[in-house]
Amino acid sequence: MAKLSNSWRQLAAISSFALLAACASPGQQQARYERPSPPPSSHPSVYQVSFATNMYDINLAGQRAIEDVASVVEGNNAVFVTIVGRTDTAGSADYNTQLSQRRARAVRDALISTGKIAPGHIETAWTGQERQAVGTVDGIAEAQNRVVDMYIH
């Protein structure tokens, strides 16, 4: 029985060496796992629509941004857009909250009107004069804060 046990061990060892030698033969590449690179992003994940003071009308540049977002999202039911309206600190906090809401709704309505994204794939929020891109004291008109951000996710 000891002789039989030794021959199985020898056979297993020889098989292991043969397998390793076959894997290392010249001309053959060993398979290795490499983490795939993420696909290059052809668009930013955040788009912006800017507004004039006390306005919520969408200008030509804003219309282009909305069309860009709609084109990116079109046909992809797994994608959502979050819209966040913002204002600067010119005016009262209550007024700015209402203005940021109007801006966010104007952008939402414009996105829907493209026909490329379903209303159920758009989330709308507004912050008024809170969470500004450029922090200012009350009463300061700052163009970088008069925006609606569109986040694609």
- pLDDT per position as a tens digit, 20-42: 455 554 554 444 434 444 444 55
46-152: which CATH topology? 60s Ribosomal Protein L30; Chain: A; (3.30.1330)
85: β partners: 126, 148
Question: What are the beta bridge partners of residue 148?
Answer: 49, 85
Buried-state track 83-119, b at ≥16 Cβ within 10 A, e below 16: bbbbbbbbbeeeebbbbbbbbbbbbbebbeeeebbee
Reported as a single tens digit per residue, the pLDDT across 88-146 is: 999 999 999 999 999 999 999 999 999 999 999 999 999 998 887 777 777 778 889 99
Share of the chain above pLDDT 90, in %: 55
pLDDT per residue as tens digits for the range 78-94: 899 999 999 999 999 99
CA distance readout (Å), 47 to 37, 53, 82, 130: 25, 20, 10, 19
> What Rg, from alpha-carbon coordinates, does the chain have?
30
